[in-house]
Structure 1
Amino acid sequence: MAKTNGMISGLFSGMLGKEVVFRNLGDRTIACAAPGPRTKKASKAQLKNENMFRMGNRFATAVLQDPDLKAAYARAVKTRQTPHSRAVQDYCNPPVVTDVAGHHYKGKPGDIIEIRATDDFHVAKVFVEIRDAEGNKLESGYAVVQPFGTVWHYTVTAPNELFAGSRITAWAVDIPGNEGSLEVLL
């Protein structure tokens, strides 16, 4: 792989013939061998990944029109990344709900349910739903993020006198709209 940041090359990108590809990385231009044509039919997994990256590119192009989000993705870039590639990465990775702490839940209004959720970039919101032992929905709503950023609190509003056997489900949503969830049985 050739690297340059000289006056002759400047910042340019694209394919030269069908042999060399030029890419910009920060203030440098990188040259590498051009990819060859696919020799086999794409598998279902490959087609799924291609579609995910195509949709991720559309998301990144759209979201980077917002100066605040562009700056946020720029602050989160890793080595050899651009804000665009960081936004694509965010699109491809859903958030994860790692814990729904229902041990403080006693079925009383005012009880706090603690949710821990992470994402490779940012968890935008956490939604909580409580169902009784028979599966009836008792309540639902959004949790409030705590100063740590990975901890969210949901304050119970509806009574649930027979809370044993109830289910608490939490969904974390990131900026691209990906969801991750976790359900606990009390």
Structure 2
Amino acid sequence: MAIVKDNNLLLQAVTGSLGDEITIYERNGQIIVAKKRGPSKKKPTKKQLEARYKMKIAAAYAVAIIKDPEIKAYYKSLAGPGQNAYNMAVKDAYNSPEIQRIRFEDETVVVTAKNEFRVAEVAIRIVDAAGSILERGKAVLGRNGVDWHYKATGLPPGGKLIIVAVDLPGNETVREVRLE
């Protein structure tokens, strides 16, 4: 790969491939000359097929979501040089939120959930030892922007807490905690 440094008149108006040898394209205002790549002759692995499917879903989300002017403006505000709202929406849809920490402050469950973009909601279910749902609800985002608070009516010993963090594209991360 070569980056053309000077304002070359010949390459300034040229993009595309020249035969089967080289490709000329522009990225971030720079002209790049690279060896032309062809399709791979190897059969894709299972992981590659999964990644392709995940990218296909993320791209479909991005196409649909940037039709909403508010959400498009949100993603555009996060874009860096050479990026746009579509790129940010694909990146958001490709990654799930992360539940980093769960702690108890008396009867309040505090969940620290992060995402590179935004965690849309955190839902809590409290299940007893027999598997019956005793309580469910949505946590409230704290002032620091990462801690979600849920005031439980009771935490039964031997039961479990099921926490679901959801981001803007709808990716879910589920964590279960046994109650002692």
Instruction: Tell me, yes or no, whether TM beats 0.5.
Output: yes
How far apart are residue 103 of structure 1 and its match? 4.9
- Give the structure 1 partner of residue 98 of structure 2: 96
How far apart are residue 102 of structure 1 and its match? 3.0
Partners in 2 of 1:62 and 1:15 — Cα distance?
29
2:180 corresponds to 1:183? no
Q: Which has the higher contact order (CA 8 A, sep 6+)?
A: 1
Change in 2 beyond 3 A, CA 1:60/1:29: farther
* 1:58-77 matched pairs, under 5 angstroms: 58-77=60-79
TM-score (norm 2): 0.82
- Give the structure 1 partner of residue 113 of structure 2: 117
Partners in 2 of 1:30 and 1:85 — Cα distance?
21
Give CA-to-partner distance per residue, 1:88-124, whole Å, 9 cap, x none. Answer: 111111001112223523xxxxxx2111101111100
Is this contact kept in 1: 2:165–2:174, CA < 8 A? yes
- Give the structure 1 partner of residue 144 of structure 2: 148
C-alpha RMSD of matched pairs (Å): 2.6
Partners in 2 of 1:51 and 1:147 — Cα distance?
37
Is this contact kept in 2: 1:24–1:30, CA < 8 A? yes
Is this contact kept in 2: 1:126–1:172, CA < 8 A? yes
* 1:1-186 matched pairs, under 5 angstroms: 1-2=2-3, 9=12, 15-17=16-18, 19-25=22-28, 28-33=29-34, 34-78=36-80, 80-105=82-107, 112-156=108-152, 158-159=153-154, 163-186=156-179
Partners in 2 of 1:58 and 1:126 — Cα distance?
24
How far apart are residue 63 of structure 1 and its match? 1.2
Is this contact kept in 1: 2:163–2:175, CA < 8 A? yes
User: Number of aligned pairs?
Assistant: 173
Partners in 2 of 1:159 and 1:48 — Cα distance?
41
Q: Which structure 1 residue ranges, 5 or more long, are not aligned?
A: 106-111
Same amino acid, percent of matched pairs? 30
Residue type at the aligned position of 2:58 = G
Q: Which structure 2 residue ranges, 5 or more long, are not aligned?
A: none
